[in-house]
Amino acid sequence: MTETTEIFREFNFEAAHRLPNVPDGHKCARLHGHSYRLSVHVEGPIDPTLGWVMDFGDLKKAVQPLVEQLDHYYLNDIEGLENPTSEVLAVWLWERLHPGLPGLSAITVRETCTSGSTYRGNSGA
């Protein structure tokens, strides 16, 4: 079995949303915003020559276009984010990053300092 190491890089973005499917009177049904923190994790063996799993700059290049698509936007208007919970957002990000980011192992979306969601992909895929 090959030993692996997991690295991560964090990103921040600001966005507004509302949750259309919550019960009547729920505060999250109202338009509001968050200062999101996104952690993207990649797992793999440490390259014996370079000494890293992946260049953090390459990880940033892979993720930054998605951050720009979300930053300062109304998430409900983005295709696939009509009900933009942190769980749905984590899966949405995974689906867009996974095909081009070998070793993607987890995505964590924090919508507050104390609340968020981690998605580790479809184990059946």
Give mean pLDDT, residues 10-25.
97
Where residue 2 falls among pLDDT bands split at 50, 70, 90?
Answer: confident
pTM over 0.85: yes
83-116 burial, b at 16+ Cβ within 10 Å, e below that, comes to bbbbebbbbbbbebbeeebebbbbbbbbbeeeeb
> For 70-119, how does the pLDDT look when each residue is reduced to its tens digit (9 = 90+)?
999 999 999 999 999 999 999 999 999 999 999 999 999 999 999 999 99
Q: Catalytic amino acids?
A: 28, 72, 111
pLDDT at 125: 46
